[in-house]
Amino acid sequence: MLFIIYTMSENQPAPANKNTKFSIIIALLSIIVIVESIKIYLDSQKKEELQQTITTTKDELSSTLTRLDSIRTELDQKIVEIQKLGGDVTELKKAKSEVEAQLKRSATRSAKEIAQLKDKVEGYTVLLKTKDEEIEKLKSVNKELFSENKNLKTKQNKLSDSITSLTKNKDELASKVAIASQLRIENPKVTGLNSKGKERDSPFKNKQLSKLKVEFNLAENKVAPIEGKKIMIRIVDENKQVIFDIAKGSGSFTLNGKEEFYTVIQEILFDNTKQKLIFYYEKGSEYASGNYTIEVYTDGYKMGTAQFAIK
């Protein structure tokens, strides 16, 4: 079109009204070119802005997801720590489930979804800070409880030691009382009686010995209770053999866990009056020459001894 206009202007002069039209056409074409240029520029700018927006959105999403993954790790740590301290982890487990669900979603998100996700990340961050404070409180409470338990355990140990010591002292006291309450004999005397009842002092001759008489007093003992007692005597020869005869009242008793024989026995009521006891024993056969020991027992312990001899 411009070429035609140019030709016309070369071959013949343009009238005035034609010049005006030509100017208008030129102006319109210029405006169209300018408008198209502006449109192209604006389209280019929009494309560039859109690309920047897409890039920014991807970066924000990537950054947010990275932070979300870090929050999941922190939630795991807080759950373990609070469980050890005995706290409630329901809220943390719920948050962890939500985070894991977000991480499993598609990587493509709209700007609105990314904004919502960033808000959630902020919420999880606040939750973690709150749980840090809770952990500190739980630690403080556990420290106090540990201190109280330690003190209580110390007191219990001391009480246990005291009870053990008291029991030991009680047992020792009971043992001492038991020993202190044991009866003893005083003024033991062994004499021999002939067939006429005449007494002779040791040493004895068999032909002069019809019966053996053993007498002694029970020593005073303020600790010993007034009660019935079985008093036994054993006649023991030089070979440590006990003289006994079941037909004449001999029997057996327990001494140091073993069964032993006694020669004669009496049942009495111990009344703590230094009472005197007399035992008679008729052997029925001659004694072998030698030294003999009289042993006196009650309740499984020895009360005293006396001696005599046979010529």
Q: Give the CATH number for residue 221.
A: 2.60.40.2550
- Does residue 232 belong to any structural domain of this protein? yes
Asked if 116 and 193 sit in the same domain, the reply is no
DSSP string, 223-235: SSPSEEEEEEEEE
**pLDDT tens digit sequence for 39-90:** 787 776 676 655 555 555 677 877 888 888 889 899 999 899 899 888 898 9
Q: What tokens appear for 213 in the block?
A: 């008489």
- Using 50, 70 and 90 to split pLDDT, how confident is the model at 236? very high
Query: Is the omega angle on the peptide bond into residue 188 within 30 degrees of 0, that is, cis?
Result: no
Cα three-residue angle 149-152-158, rounded to 5 degrees: 140
- Crossing angle of the two packed helices 90-104 and 111-180, in degrees rounded to 10: 150
**Closest residue by Cα to residue 190 from 127, 86, 263:** 263
Question: What's the pLDDT tens digit per position in 91-109?
Answer: 988 988 888 888 887 667 7
Phi, psi of 193 (to 5 degrees): -110, 135
Beta-carbon count within 10 A of 8 CB: 13
- What's the token pair of residue 279? 């035992």
- Domain range holding 47? 16-132
Give the chain's radius of gyration (CA, Å). Answer: 61
Please tell me whether residues 122 and 226 are part of one structural domain: no
Phi, psi dihedrals of residue 252, rounded to the nearest 5°: -130, 160
> How many domains does the chain divide into?
2
Same domain membership, residue 107 and residue 20:
yes
Q: Cα separation of 111 and 251, whole Å?
A: 112
Query: Does 200 share its domain with 263?
Result: yes
In contact, 151 and 187? CB cutoff 8 Å: no
CA dihedral sign, ordered 47, 50, 52, 58: negative
* Sequence-ordered list of residues with C-beta below 8 angstroms from that of 268, at least 6 positions apart, any chain: 228, 229, 231, 275, 277
| Residue 139 resides in a domain | no
φ, ψ of residue 233 to 5 degrees: the values are -120, 145
* One-letter amino acid for residue 88 of the chain: D
pLDDT tens profile 180-207: 889 999 999 999 999 888 999 999 999 8
Predicted pLDDT at 7: 45
**Is 279 part of a structural domain of the chain?**
yes
Q: Do residues 122 and 191 both lie within one domain?
A: no
